Structure 1
Amino acid sequence: MSALSGIPVTDDFANGGVSYWYRQIGLPSRRAPLPGAREYDVAIVGGGYTGLWTAYYLKQAQPDLRVAVLEKEFAGFGASGRNGGWLSAEFAGSRERHAAARGHQAMIDLQRAMFAAVDEVIEVTRAEGIDADVHKGGVLNVATNPAQERRLRAEVDDLRRWGYAEEDMRLLSADERESRLHVEGALSAAYSPHCARVQPAKLAVGLAGAVAGLGVDIFEDTPVTEIRPRAGHAGKAGAAAAVTTRGTVTAEYVIRATEGFTASIRGQRRQWLPMNSSMIVTEPLGDRVWERIGWQGGELFGDQAHAYCYAQRTADGRIAIGGRGVPYRFGSRTDVRGATQAKTVAALHGILTALFPAAAGARVQHSWCGVLGVPRDWCSTVHLDHATGLGWAGGYVGSGVTTTNLAGRTLRDLVLRRETELTRLPWVGRQVRQWEPEPLRWLGVQAIYALFRTADRRENAQMTRTSAYARLAGLVSGR
């Protein structure tokens, strides 16, 4: 029996892997590949948000700079065109670890920079005429059992130490919670205004167009197989290089912006773990369903489960909801062009109907998945080494829609050798050890998510404290 048996799907339901966001607007026409060996001032490997934002800000700051973006598929193919559409101020990783690098205030500065980055992205979409269905409705985090409620309240209290004022994050009264969004079994909810809904593919396609319009060369269908430091970088002149299947690009700086696909580059297999996340989207919901659910403010939605979900009410009246699915594939392999397993679709549909019973009759129209990058300490990083000519940014652990913008502006300042508030933030220059070799890497991730799922089941049985299984998973993961 198929895992989809009993799951209502539309007549045109397809599991071909392309995200609903691209199904809505159509795949972009591909740009020409690299025509052979070339020389640039800056070569950026990866045509997702990180690479595009970096190119955008570099060309704006110094129009005569020769900048190229090298992309294996098409600009926006990866997580940039497949994510949940959360333009959120949430920053990946332990605040304590970031603070240990440059102090408590530096972490507060980083959080404030993330608040500002949300508005920066919105402003660029306006300035560049990018219609990405942007709506700044904030974000709701909801607890549906006593253990989740305890964690949520503790998290809000803890955020006060990290620069969050009352207006940045607050617990809602039961009346306000229900007036915003009805979630089955909700016990409490916290709200932050620092989040906006976006249509990810529209943002990626629009940003790529803006970058190309500034004079950046975007080469698609151009896989990079190796990134090389400056020849004789210990004191001799030379250029860094990006080796592609279509020729080698040499540049003063080569920036790696490959996030979940980093393992595909020679020598980078253990650098960042490619974590999988999957999504489904419903058909448009009718007015009667929305009356029962609410969600008139267009907030983003997340829960406090360990194997958490994330969701948005789309601009065309659907619910798009995501979660981990199959978290990791052996050997740091990535998905087959975004195809989603039937059991993952069924699991996400189960979460959807448990949280929003009014949507139980809505058919699932599409499913897809993508990969995100996870460093060994789960903390995002941005770096540029002037000696080798190599730089990178990533490890966003699912919080990349906004963080990529901050990374792009920070890399601009680093490349141009500017000392700014951005280059002093604690994630700059962070060094992270590699993941363990296989099979330890695969076994560890499987154990982590098995423990998290067990913890959620136990907490749903009305535990009042976080399950010991979740605490053990945290120790194994090194988060």
Structure 2
Amino acid sequence: MRRGDVSFWYVDMGGLPAPRAALAGDAAADVCIVGAGYTGLWAAYYLKQAQPDLNILIVEKEFAGFGASGRNGGWLSGGFAWNHDRYAATGGRQGVLDMVAAMGGTVDEVIRVCEEHGIEADIHRTDELMVAVNAAQLARLREEIAHKQAWGEGDRVREIGAVELAERVRIPGALGAMVLSGVARVQPAKLVQGLARVVEGLGVRIVEQTPVTGLSKGIVTTNQGTIRAPIILRCTEGFTADLPGSHRDWVPLNSAQIVTPPLPDAFWEKVGWQGHEILGDYANSYSYCQRTREGRLTVGGRGIPYRFASRTDTGGAPDQGTIDWLKGKLAQLFPEAVPYGIDHAWCGVLGVPRDWCATVGLDPATGLGWAGGYVGIGVSTSNLAGRTLADLALGRSTPLTNLPWVNRRVRRWEPEPLRWLGVRGMYRLLNAADRAEAQPGAGPSRLARLGNWLTGR
């Protein structure tokens, strides 16, 4: 079994991409984007669509797609996974409904761009299935469906029972599932690498192997030289904590995945899953799965969720305890897959704000913009963020720049060791809640509510 190597998705592509050249001394640009993941690349794409003559420079510490953009679970969902009420407090109900609608449009928009520019990313339109395997999970499922219906997603969401679920995919003990329509499965590294090629073709310059050491009004400092630009967009998401002065802005939560070898037809005949739905469960500790293009099965989850002092990984190698936890999830959901073993395990970080709600914004006084805090649903959210950043950078007032997540700021995370104790404590409580809810006749555990309250989830 391979560990790390950034992710399996790059192995699937034949290996890591050849690095682009580093910054060669001082430079100037109209817009400097820090971070060559989905968010930065989408922002560059829409800026060039709006104003082709812009001089745009993207600066990246490693290589384009090194972070979550090249490691995620491949869920292009367009769903709204944050707290509606928190956005409504400033944007009102209509503002949140507008944001839900805008998020829902990201799936079609990403697919449109890929088709227009020939980005082959194993995109497959499908449904999302969120499965309940006990009474407590079924109660949460129904609560979420009611909540989504109340906030403008009623036409996308419905409940199915055990029989209809088994006609799609057979999971031991499953009582039913929430179906969210209008989503897609993607190969994430193919998407980010294809997008990088497209923006380069539009005239955007990407420099790699160039760590940023400081950000201030009009200036990006790197170890290779100084970049001067009136607009600077920070698009570093889970790696934001690595930037000077930003280690408490967003917590870098760790998420990990395992993938099986290609599974034989006999396995798929037993399990079903012919629709290639993206699939998760209603456990408090949560897991997410994909059936890949060539018939592999991926399982992801938090594992060890946080490293002390907001440390981020480098090569994506998970610890053995996390791998064992993911194998346990595989055995629970798809026991027939266990004998085939695991080919690869990897991990990465995602950005989490103190209130677990994503933001995008730009300070006109300094020209400094930012986007992120996607809490694990960045494949689609980054597209909306990139479009919004482009409008903000160009000084436009548009429906996107008036959404309630724009220029929204929350307090920073606590200093260590409180941050470590809080996040680790939350996940211990969530895992304990899952064990309690697995008992016959158990309802939703109060331990989960306590864990979520602890960190403002």
Give the shorter-chain TM-score range. over 0.9
Query: SS at 1:29's partner residue?
Result: coil
Shift, 1:274, TM fit = 0.4
Q: Give the whole-Å Cα distance in 2 for the aligned partners of 1:322 and 1:73.
A: 24
Q: Is the 8 A contact 2:212 2:221 kept in 1?
A: yes
Q: Note if 1:306 corresponds to 2:294.
A: no
Match of 1:172 in 2: 160
Question: Deviation string for 1:3-45 (max 9, x for gaps)?
Answer: xxxxxxxxxx211342110011121111111111111110000
Q: Is the 8 A contact 2:165 2:177 kept in 1?
A: yes
Q: Give the whole-Å Cα distance in 2 for the aligned partners of 1:23 and 1:56.
A: 26
Q: Give the whole-Å Cα distance in 2 for the aligned partners of 1:178 and 1:243.
A: 55
Q: Which residue type is aligned with residue 184 of structure 2? A: A
Q: Give the whole-Å Cα distance in 1 for the aligned partners of 2:447 and 2:25.
A: 53
Q: Residues 39 and 336 from structure 1, CA distance in 2 versus in 1: closer, same or farther, beyond 3 angstroms?
A: closer
Shift, 1:336, TM fit = 3.6
Q: Note if 1:192 corresponds to 2:180.
A: yes
Q: Is the 8 A contact 1:150 1:464 kept in 2?
A: no
Q: Pairwise mapping of residues 252-331 of structure 1 onto structure 2 (< 5 A)? A: 252-331=230-309
Q: Note if 1:209 corresponds to 2:197.
A: yes
Match of 1:341 in 2: 319
Identify the match of residue 118 of structure 1 among 89, 97, 107.
107
Q: Give the whole-Å Cα distance in 1 for the aligned partners of 2:18 and 2:398.
A: 38
Residue-pair matches, total: 456
Query: SS at 1:137's partner residue?
Result: strand
Q: Which residue type is aligned with residue 451 of structure 2? A: A
Q: Give the whole-Å Cα distance in 2 for the aligned partners of 1:41 and 1:386.
A: 15
Q: Give the whole-Å Cα distance in 1 for the aligned partners of 2:119 and 2:451.
A: 41
Q: Note if 1:470 corresponds to 2:448.
A: yes
Q: Give the whole-Å Cα distance in 2 for the aligned partners of 1:300 and 1:153.
A: 19
Q: Which residue type is aligned with residue 331 of structure 2? A: T
Match of 2:130 in 1: 141
Q: Is the 8 A contact 1:93 1:377 kept in 2?
A: no
Q: Which residue type is aligned with residue 341 of structure 2? A: R
Q: Note if 1:101 corresponds to 2:79.
A: no
Q: Give the whole-Å Cα distance in 2 for the aligned partners of 1:17 and 1:343.
A: 18
Q: Pairwise mapping of residues 207-246 of structure 1 onto structure 2 (< 5 A)? A: 207-229=195-217, 240-246=218-224
Q: Which residue type is aligned with residue 453 of structure 2? A: L
Identify the match of residue 352 of structure 2 among 348, 371, 374.
374
Query: SS at 2:49's partner residue?
Result: helix
Q: Is the 8 A contact 2:357 2:373 kept in 1?
A: yes
Q: Note if 1:154 corresponds to 2:143.
A: yes
Unpaired runs of 5+ in structure 1?
1-12, 230-239
Match of 1:3 in 2: none
Q: Give the whole-Å Cα distance in 1 for the aligned partners of 2:392 and 2:38.
A: 18
Moved over 6 A (4+): none
Shift, 1:173, TM fit = 3.3
Shift, 1:172, TM fit = 1.2
Shift, 1:345, TM fit = 1.1
Q: Note if 1:443 corresponds to 2:443.
A: no
Q: Pairwise mapping of residues 8-87 of structure 1 onto structure 2 (< 5 A)? A: 13-25=1-13, 26-87=15-76
Q: Give the whole-Å Cα distance in 1 for the aligned partners of 2:355 and 2:440.
A: 31
Shift, 1:463, TM fit = 4.5
Q: Is the 8 A contact 1:225 1:264 kept in 2?
A: no
Q: Give the whole-Å Cα distance in 2 for the aligned partners of 1:92 and 1:372.
A: 14
Q: Give the whole-Å Cα distance in 1 for the aligned partners of 2:127 and 2:397.
A: 32
Match of 2:398 in 1: 420
Q: Give the whole-Å Cα distance in 2 for the aligned partners of 1:99 and 1:259.
A: 24
Q: Is the 8 A contact 2:72 2:188 kept in 1?
A: yes
TM normalised by structure 2 equals 0.98
Q: Which residue type is aligned with residue 424 of structure 2? A: Q
Question: Kindly, what percent of the aligned residue pairs are identical?
Answer: 55
Shift, 1:335, TM fit = 1.7
Question: Deviation string for 1:88-124 (max 9, x for gaps)?
Answer: 1223421110111111111111111111011100111
